[in-house]
Amino acid sequence: MKKIWMLIILFLFTFVSCNKKEYINFNEYIVNNININEPINENNLLNTIYKKNYKVRLIYSEMGTRFSIYENFNMNNKLFDLKYWTIVNPIEIMCNKESNMVKIKTEDNRIGWINAYFLELY
95-121: pLDDT as tens digits: 877 788 999 999 999 999 999 999 998
Q: Are 98 and 73 in contact (CB under 8 A)?
A: no
What pLDDT is stored for residue 73 in this prediction?
84
Answer with the residue of higher pLDDT: 8 or 72. 72
User: Which domains does the chain carry?
Assistant: 22-121 (2.30.30.40)
Task: Label residue 13 by pLDDT band (50, 70, 90).
Answer: low
Strands (E), 20-86: 24-25, 56-58, 66-70, 78-83
Model pTM above 0.85: no
